[in-house]
Amino acid sequence: MSKRQLMKGNEAICKAAMDAGCSCFFGYPITPQNQVPEYLSTLMPAAGRVFLQAESELAAINMVYGAAATGVRVMTSSSSPGVSLKQEGISYIATAELPCVIVNVQRGGPGLGNIAPAQADYFQATRGGGHGDYRTMVLAPASVQEMYQFTRDAFDLAEKYRNPVLILADAILGQMMEPVEITLPPIPVPAPLPWGTRGTRKGSRTTVNTLLINPVDLEAINDRLLEKYARMAVEDLRWEESIPENTELLFVAYGSSARICQTSIEMLAERDIIAGLFRPQTLYPFPYAALKAAAQKVQKVMTVELSAGQLVEDVRLAVECTRPVEFYGRTGGSVFTPDEVADAAQRALGK
Amino acid sequence: MTTEINSEKVFSRTEGLCDIRQHYCPGCSHGIVHRLVGETLVELGVLERTVGVCPVGCAVFAYDYFNCDMLEASHGRAPAVATGVKRAVPDAIVFTYQGDGDLASIGMGEIVHAAARSENITVVFINNAIYGMTGGQMAPTTLLGQVSSTSPLGRDVKRTGYPIRVSELLATLDGATYITRQTVNNPKEVMATKKALAKAFSTQIEGKGFSLVEILCTCPTWLGRSPIESMTWIDEKMREVYPLGVVVDRTAER
């Protein structure tokens, strides 16, 4: 039995974490994600679970490291500058192969920036973000429905790969309200995973460590991570595409930008221009082959993002010069209107 | 002809430590403190439900030394990692083992807030007034005038300020249940330190909140003194700045 509820994006994340059996949440206040710790400060203790407001982003991510090491489901959330602060901890978590969910409700940058929507943390999210050769899986919701669904999925994926999974949202998705249809029943808090380092040894101790003094040993860890990332790219790629016949221009956009592109496509139709949309839902792993195949059906590709051009690098890697790849973006928390995007597309087609 | 010798085993490695060779320098106090912590966990009967968190610094390899579940934390964050473990598994006995650079410099935020929350964990704080693992740099606990590789003419108060008395600082927080400062530079103090550790871990076992044992330790390598001179240096120099004894004890109120 499904249930439709009107809720904010940030609230949907909380609802999903509760329904996914998340045991612990550690976070720190930063706009525009504050509703996440605010909601969870009520929901988690009421359900007998752990909510703790940490003294800093550094402390929060290291509490996540500690709780994740015990084999329970754990989440933290923040926004761009706060996620930057967490990067050292995320590198440790990825190296120790611990599962956790990290939410980034992106805001304008660089620097302290502002609290307006942006997508300028794409490189940080998809290239590892901290030191060393590691990656986090990155899910990019584009609706409040997906804020719920992807957060629920993130807990399963984090455990499947024993790897941090990042939800890359933005201030629009965090703050807007939409109906959410919940079809999956909530699950109870699962039993701790058997490998957990939780002081319950019976004759054998367990350790969690990311120090490997011998380069050969550390290289072996790196190799294992690379194998895991390769498996993600085979088993858990996600994207959505809508490419009508005779499409002239293919938008590539994720998150809020993709929503804006949908309106731009309708506007372009009124101008007798057929445009399509390719929306990656996993940003890491990135659906390179699917995008290349999609690009072959169109004349031109245009990446649309709230940044100075980050996603566009992956788009160019995917398309491999088989089609021209244009870029349209705005930065610093400024958000393009559907008109602006439609105009940019029209110009790109020389019309 | 063979002679039969009746021998009795009077001393052995504690079950609280792994059967592995430790990397510490000759004359370093870490070995003594490790043993005391290991013995305490065994004697309190909690070794099998203990999770230790080791730091970045000389004790960075301690995950191989303590015979319980262990986590290796990033520099200074051990109290946050321990908080994550303790909140997820309240029945576990959780301790951090941290040096002065880790705890009092880069990790000052985490230790202060863990104490303020009265996080029900035990902290073993090694104060040897120097950064050991990185090569003898000035620590926040380095004494005025003390030579280090980054204060080659001696710590100068005008440029680097004063040493931090961590135990006294934390004792101002209501959340600090039990804090004591000890040393291990002679047998009497070793026994006193062991009692202090037992009390600190008992504080946690009884659910009374945050406990910390600061231990004045030797680092002959970077102090540039022999092991014996280093132990004397603790009595002659360190104890003047860092007096021994119970700094706060709120166990009766909790």
**Predicted local confidence at residue B6, as pLDDT:** 85
- Look over chain A and give the mean of its residue pLDDT values, rounded to a whole number: 97
Looking up tokens 């966990």 gives B41
pLDDT at B3: 72
Q: Which of residues 199-238 of A touch B (CB under 8 A)?
A: 199-202, 205-211
Within 38-97 of A, beta carbons closer than 8 Å to B belong to 50, 52, 54-56, 58-60, 62-70, 72, 74, 88-89, 92
Expressed in percent and rounded to 5, the helix, strand and coil fractions of chain B are: 40, 20, 45
Q: How far is B98 from chain A (nearest CA, A)?
A: 15
Considering only CA atoms, which of B184, B189, B185, B195 is closest in space to residue B39? B195
State what percent of residues in chain A have pLDDT above 70: 99
**What's the mean pLDDT in A153-174?**
98
Q: Tell me which chain B residues have a C-beta less than 8 angstroms from the C-beta of A68.
A: 84
With cut-offs at 50, 70 and 90, classify the pLDDT of residue A200.
confident
Give pLDDT, residue B140.
98
Residue type, A152: R
Average pLDDT over residues A250-275: 98
Other CB atoms within a 10 A radius of the CB of residue A48 amount to 8
Picking from B69, B97, B204 by the largest number of A CB atoms within 10 A of its own CB, the best residue to mutate is B69
> Which B residues 9-38 touch A at CB under 8 Å?
18
Mean pLDDT confidence for B149-164: 97
Instruction: Please confirm whether the linkage preceding B243 is cis (ω < 30° from 0).
Output: no
Chain B residues touching residue A59 (CB < 8 angstroms): 77, 80, 83, 109-110, 113
Whole-number pLDDT of residue A38 = 98
Dist CA A139 CA A13 (whole Å): 13
Compute the distance between CA of residue B52 and CA of residue A205 in angstroms, rounded to an integer: 11
Instruction: Please check the confidence at residue A2 and state whether its pLDDT lies above 70.
Output: no
Among A274, A242, A228, A33, CA closest to A147:
A33
How far, CA to CA in Å, does A277 sit from each of A109, A233, A291, A303, B235?
26, 21, 10, 10, 74
Decide if pLDDT at A18 tops 80. yes
Q: What is the mean pLDDT of residues B75-94?
A: 98
Minimal CA–CA distance to B55: which of B116, B137, B124?
Answer: B124
Tracing tokens 């290289």 back to the chain, one arrives at A219
Q: Answer for the pair B130, B219: CB distance below 8 angstroms, yes or no.
A: yes
Question: What is the CB neighbour count within 10 angstroms for residue A236?
Answer: 17
Average pLDDT value over all residues in chain B:
97
Q: Do B48 and A209 touch (CB under 8 A)?
A: no
**Residue with tokens 């996603």, as numbered in its chain:** A311
Chain A residue closest in CA terms to B57? A211
Q: What is the mean pLDDT of residues A29-37?
A: 97
Q: Which of A261, A244, A349, A250 is nearest to A306 (CA)?
A: A261
Contact A319, A295 (CB under 8 A): yes
Neighbours of A219 (CB within 10 A): 11
CA distance A252 to A312: 8
Task: Mark yes or no for CB contact B84/A65 under 8 Å.
Answer: yes
User: What span, in angstroms and rounded, lies between the C-alpha atoms of A302 and B51?
Assistant: 52
Residues B103-125: tens digit of each pLDDT: 999 999 999 999 999 999 999 99
Whether the pLDDT of residue B1 is over 90: the answer is: no
pLDDT of A3 reads 79
Asked if A94 contacts A42 with a C-beta cutoff of 8 angstroms, the reply is: no
- The percent of residues in chain A predicted with pLDDT above 90, rounded, is 98
Query: A28 contacts in B (CB within 8 Å)?
Result: none
For range B211-235, the mean pLDDT = 97
Q: DSSP characters for A21-79?
A: T--EEEE---TTSTHHHHHHHHHHHHTT-EEEE-SSHHHHHHHHHHHHHTT--EEEEE-
Interface check A194 vs B, CB under 8 A: no
- Asked if A303 and A318 touch (Cβ cutoff 8 Å), the reply is no
Average pLDDT of span B45-67: 97
- Here the contacts of B184-193 (C-beta below 8 Å, separation 24 or greater) are B184/B29, B184/B32, B184/B33, B184/B36, B184/B215, B184/B216, B184/B217, B185/B29, B185/B216, B185/B218, B185/B231, B185/B232, B185/B234, B185/B235, B186/B231, B189/B244, B190/B32, B190/B36, B193/B33, B193/B36
Mean pLDDT in residue range A281-291: 98
Tell me: the pLDDT tens digits for A92-125? 999 999 999 999 999 999 999 999 999 999 999 9
CA torsion sign for B95, B101, B107, B112 is: positive
- Asked if pLDDT for residue B231 goes beyond 90, the answer is yes
Mean pLDDT over residues A177-194, rounded? Answer: 96
What is the average pLDDT across A319-346?
98
A-interface mutation test, from B18, B60, B65, B72, most A Cβ less than 10 A away: B72
Tokens, residue B139: 């620590």
Q: Are B104 and B166 in contact (CB under 8 A)?
A: yes
Residue B4 has pLDDT above 90, yes or no: no
Strand positions, DSSP E, B22-166: 50-54, 69-72, 93-99, 122-127
Judge whether residue A14 has pLDDT over 80: yes
HSE-up of residue B241 (Cα within 13 Å, Cβ side)? 20
Q: How far apart are CA A137 and CA A133, in angstroms?
A: 13
A51/chain B closest Cα distance in angstroms: 9
Q: Which residue of A has its CA nearest to B63?
A: A207
